[in-house]
Amino acid sequence: MQAVKLLAPVAALAAKADGTPCFKIKAWRSKGVMLPEVFDLYRSIEVDLNVLPFCTQFIPMDVINHPKHKSICYHPSILPRHRGASAISWTLMEGDETAGFTIFWADDGLDTGPILLQRKCSVKPNDTLDSLYNSFMYPEGVRAMAEAVNLVAEGKAPMIEQPEEGATYDAMLNKKELQRLVWSGKTAKQAHDFVRALDSTPGAWTLIDGQEARLYKSALWTGTERFF
């Protein structure tokens, strides 16, 4: 089964090595209208399945539904919880004790399509955005995506509708005002969760004596450590 892959540069090198067509497409649309030359290029590959790992743009439904087996996406949360572009950060910021990812069938909503498979892991007290991604989301995600493609190829891939109960949509944390730690009303645990949710990129910040300071490497004090 041939699948089109929208990948990072390193993966693009691997695609080139095994003869898989690879294109760098800046945009599918211009002023809200599908670019015909881009769609024609895509259709020329005659793929069976779109594989969209960490896709951060809206793909036109004509593209999503074009292959025989449609499209599957990777999302770094246990859907339907934490829909949206900053899912790992919100998992930590909300103090979730369990993290994970979902591979799901793309539809016209934001992270709302039927679930193909999910994987979970425990969140350690001092896990950060980086540590969760590097230790679990990325390596296990690669393995799970390969498993998902094989399930589709074998005709065994489930399509489990997402429940509405427990569904959340969380804002993308790309604006500076959303990255500011305001201490008022927060417990030590909530402040810790906020800092580690943005560590190391983009990094939480706060004001100390009127000066902006970035915050990294947060850890909860248990009362036994000595810092001085």
What pLDDT digit, counting tens, does each position of 113-163 carry?
Answer: 999 999 999 999 999 999 999 999 999 999 999 999 999 999 999 999 999
Are 83 and 111 within 8 A, CB to CB? yes
Q: Which structural domain, as residue segments, surrounds residue 189?
A: 176-214
> For position 15, what pLDDT does the model report?
78
Domain count of the chain? 2
Name the helix (H) or strand (E) containing 27: none
Q: Residue 82, Cβ neighbours under 10 Å: how many?
A: 26
170: in domain = no
29: in domain: yes
Which segment of 35-49, 90-104, 113-127, 158-172 scores lowest on mean pLDDT? Answer: 35-49
How does strand 3-5 pair with strand 49-52? parallel
Let me know whether 125 and 192 are in one domain: no
In this structure, are 182 and 130 located in the same domain? no
- Read off the CATH number of the domain in which 132 is found: 3.40.50.170
Please name which of 149, 104, 95 lies closest in space to residue 124, comparing C-alpha atoms.
95
Task: Cite the beta strand spans of 9-92 per DSSP E.
Answer: 29-30, 33-34, 49-52, 71-75
Instruction: Give the pTM.
Output: 0.89
Residue 128 in any domain: the answer is: yes
Residue 167 lies in a domain: no
- CA dihedral (57, 60, 61, 63) in degrees, to 10, reads -100
